[in-house]
Structure 1
Amino acid sequence: MEPLVTPEWLAANAGAPDLRIADATYHVSLAGEAVRDAAAEFTTGHIPGAVFMDLAGFSDTASPLPSTMPGPAQFASRMGKLGLGDGTRIVLYDDAAHRTAARAWVMLRAFGFTDVALLDGGLGAWTAAGLPLETGAVAPRPRHATPRDTGAGLRDLTQMRAIVADGSEQVVDARSAARFTGDEADPRPGIAPGHMPGARNLPYGRLLNPDGTWKRGDALAAAFADAGVDLDRQLAMTCGSGITASVLAFGAHLLGREAAVYDGSWTEWGGLADTPKATGAAA
C-alpha cells in the first residue's frame, strides 16, 4: 500500500478483509479557534466502514503536556478495541485544520505499525469526489494489537537538548512564522515566545495544495528547500505540541526521507526556564 491513497483507491479497496479505515480527526481548539466536536461530527457523517480513533483518548493521561504519545499498554488497548490490530492495513483520514491524521500516522509507526496510509485530501476529498458518507455510531469488532516497537521516530527533551547543543540533527518547526519569530505570543499560557536556536521554520500548510491534497515531487521538495531545510540531513520536527510536526514528518516520508518528531515540542521546551530560546527569523 502506498503511503498516500486517493478517494477512488479507497472506495475500490474498502471491502478488502485486511483493510481498516480510521477517522483521526482531532480539534486542537487553541485560543481563537472555533470549538468543534470531532466525535459528534463523526456520527453526523464518516467514510463507510470507518472507526473513530479519538486521538484525545490515545494521549498519555499522566503527562502534563498536551497530545503526548501513550504508553504501549494504553496504545494496544485502544487499538485493539477499535479493531486496528495485528495483520491489518490501515488508512487514516481527518477533517481537521491541523491535519491530525499525520499525527496518528506517526503514532502508529512509533509502535511498529508501518502498513499505514493517509487519504489524500482527507474527508473533504472524499466528499468532493461524490462518494457516500455513513452516519451514526460504530461498534468495532475488537482485534488484538501488539506494539512491536516503542518510541520509534520520536525525540524527547533530553535528546533535543543534545541536538540543539551540537547541531547533530536539523530542527524544523511547523508553527506559523509569527509564532516562530516570537512576534505573536504563544496561545498556551506560560509558554515563552520564539523557537529553538538553529531551527528552520516551515509552516505545515506549505506542504499542501489549496484543496487540502498533498504537494508531491518537486513541488513538495521545493517547500522544504525554500525554508532552508536540507533533506539529506537527519531531521527533527517540532511544533506546538507534536501534531503539525507530524505533518512535516509525513511530507519528508513522501520524499523518501525519515524524520523524527519531538513529542513535547514547544509547549515543553518553551515552558521551561533553562532551555535556550531564540526570537526573530531563522539564523
Structure 2
Amino acid sequence: MDALVTTEFLARALGSDGLVVLDATYTSTLPGSAKQEPRADYAAGHVPGALLLDLDTLVDAADPLPSMLPPRDLFEARMAALGITADSRVILYDDSPHHTSCRAWWVLGRFGVEASLLDGGIAKWKAEGRPIEQDTHAPAPTRFEAGMPRTQVRSLAEMQATDEQIVDARSAARFTGAEPDPRTECAPGHIPGSTNIPYGRFFESDGTWKQPDALRAEFEAVGIDLDKPLVATCGSGITASVIAFAAHLLGRDVPVYDGSWSQWGASPATPKALGPA
C-alpha cells in the first residue's frame, strides 16, 4: 500500500484479508492542552472493524520522560494481541489535533512494521458520511516478532554531537521563547541552530496532507535542504513524527529525537537559544 491512503481506498478495502485498521489517537500529556479520552471516543464510534492501538500505553512506563519508545517485549505483546502478523496490512488513523497517527507510524516502524496513514483521519471519514460502529472486536492473538527498523531515532547524546539539520515542529511562540514552555521544568526556547516548521503547515484546512510539491515548499521556505541529513524534534516526540512522515512522503528518511524538548529543555547541561532561527 501507499504510505498515505484515501478514505475511498479504505472504504473499498474494509473486511479484506490481512487488513488491520488501528485507531492511533493519543491523549496529550501537554499541560493545559485539551484532554481527550481515546478509549471513550473509540467506544463512541470508530471505523468499522478498527481496533484501538492504545498509543497512550505503548510507551516506556519506566522512563520519566513522556511518550518514550516502548520496550520491545511490550511492543511485541501489543501487536500479538491485535492479531498483527508480518503479512498484515496496517492502516492507522486518529482523531487528534496533533495527528498522532504519525507517531504510531513511527513507533511501528521502529519495530519493523510497515503501516499507512488514512488521509484526513476519522474526521474526514465522518464528514463524508461513511459508516461508524460502536462494536468492539477481539482478534485472534498471533505470535509477533519485531523486525528490522524502518524508522530512525536519535538520543540526547547523538543530538549533542549531530551536524544534521534540526527541524522543530512546535509552535513559533514556543520555539522562540515568546511564551514559556508549558512544562515548568523546561526552559523556553529551542536547540541552537535548529529551524522551526510548526507541524500544522503540512496540512490543508480540512486536515488532509498537502501535495508533495507543497510539502517540499514548506521545508525549502525555512532553508531546509532535503538532500542533506535532517532530524525532527518537538516537545515530546509526538509532532516531530509529523515532520518525519512528511519527509517520508518526499522519499526522505528522517529520524526523530525521542526525548525532544522535554529532555533537552529540562537539562541544565544543554544550551538553549531564544528568538527566531
Kept in 2, the 8 Å contact 1:86–1:143? The answer is no
**Distance across 2 between alignment mates of 1:62 and 1:27:** 18
Identity across the alignment (%) = 51
The Cα shift of 1:126 comes to: 0.8
The Cα shift of 1:26 comes to: 0.7
Q: Which residue of 2 aligns with 1:41?
A: 41
**Distance across 1 between alignment mates of 2:102 and 2:93:** 8
Q: Which residue of 2 aligns with 1:136?
A: 135
Equivalent residue pairs, number: 277
Which residue, 251, 255, 264 being the options, matches 1:256? Answer: 251
**Distance across 2 between alignment mates of 1:59 and 1:217:** 31
**Distance across 2 between alignment mates of 1:9 and 1:224:** 29
Secondary structure class of the residue paired with 2:255: strand
Kept in 2, the 8 Å contact 1:25–1:96? The answer is yes
Q: Which residue of 2 aligns with 1:221?
A: 216
Kept in 2, the 8 Å contact 1:252–1:258? The answer is yes
User: What's the C-alpha RMSD, in Å, of the aligned pairs?
Assistant: 1.2
**Distance across 2 between alignment mates of 1:207 and 1:155:** 22
Q: Which residue of 1 aligns with 2:147?
A: 148
Which residue, 191, 200, 203 being the options, matches 1:196? Answer: 191
The Cα shift of 1:141 comes to: 2.1
The Cα shift of 1:23 comes to: 0.2
Q: Which residue of 1 aligns with 2:240?
A: 245
What is the correspondence of 1:101-140 to structure 2 with a 5 Å cutoff?
A: 101-114=101-114, 116-140=115-139
Q: Which residue of 2 aligns with 1:7?
A: 7
Secondary structure class of the residue paired with 1:117: strand
What is the correspondence of 1:164-175 to structure 2 with a 5 Å cutoff?
A: 167=163, 169-175=164-170
Secondary structure class of the residue paired with 1:259: coil
- With normalisation by structure 1, the TM-score equals 0.95
The Cα shift of 1:233 comes to: 1.1
Letter in 2 for 1:70: P
What is the correspondence of 1:43-122 to structure 2 with a 5 Å cutoff?
A: 43-114=43-114, 116-122=115-121
**Distance across 2 between alignment mates of 1:151 and 1:23:** 21
List structure 1 segments (4+ residues) > 4 angstroms apart after TM superposition.
none
**Distance across 1 between alignment mates of 2:135 and 2:184:** 37
Which stretch of structure 1 is more off in the superposition, 227-236 or 247-256? 227-236
Q: What do residues 21-42 of structure 1 show as CA deviations (whole Å, max 9, x unaligned)?
A: 0000012042332222111000
**Distance across 1 between alignment mates of 2:150 and 2:218:** 28
The Cα shift of 1:152 comes to: 4.3
**Distance across 1 between alignment mates of 2:129 and 2:13:** 17
- With normalisation by structure 2, the TM-score equals 0.97
**Distance across 2 between alignment mates of 1:15 and 1:259:** 33
Kept in 2, the 8 Å contact 1:67–1:241? The answer is yes
Kept in 2, the 8 Å contact 1:86–1:144? The answer is no
**Distance across 1 between alignment mates of 2:78 and 2:23:** 14
Q: Which stretches in structure 1 are left out of the alignment for 5+ residues?
A: none
Q: Which stretches in structure 2 are left out of the alignment for 5+ residues?
A: none
Which stretch of structure 1 is more off in the superposition, 264-273 or 228-237? 228-237
**Mapped pair 1:273 → 2:272:** no
Secondary structure class of the residue paired with 2:185: coil
